[in-house]
Amino acid sequence: MKKIISKIVVGTLVVGSIGFVQAQKIDAKAKKILDDITANYNSKKNSYFKFAFGSGMNGAISKTEPGIYYSAGDKYKLKIMETEQIFDGNKIYNINTEDMEVTVAKPNANSTMFSPINYLTTYRKDYNVVYSGKKTVDGVNADLIKLTPVKANGLKYIYLYVDSAKKQMLKLEQHGNNKDISVIAIKEYKENQQLDPNMFVFDKAKFKNYLVTEL
pLDDT for the residue numbered 48: 93
pLDDT tens-place values along the chain, 215 residues long = 344 344 444 333 333 333 444 567 889 999 999 999 989 988 999 999 999 988 888 888 888 889 999 999 888 998 988 889 999 989 989 999 999 999 998 876 544 555 566 777 777 788 899 999 999 998 999 999 999 988 888 889 999 999 999 999 999 898 988 888 988 899 899 999 999 999 999 999 999 899 999 88
Cα(53)–Cα(67) distance, integer angstroms: 7
**Pairing relationship of beta strands 211-214 and 101-105 according to DSSP bridges:** parallel
Calculate the alpha carbon distances from 114 to 9, 134, 155, 193 in Å. 6, 26, 14, 22
Task: Tell me the pTM.
Answer: 0.80
DSSP structural state of residue 110: T
Domain boundaries, the chain: 26-212
Return the biggest CA–CA distance within the chain: 52
Rg, the chain, Cα only: 17
Asked if 149 and 19 touch (Cβ cutoff 8 Å), the reply is no
Give me the residues paired with residue 189 across strands. Answer: 49
Within 88-203, strands assigned E span 92-96, 101-105, 127-137, 140-149, 155-163, 168-176, 180-191
State which fold the 26-212 domain adopts.
Answer: outer membrane lipoprotein receptor (LolB), chain A (2.50.20)
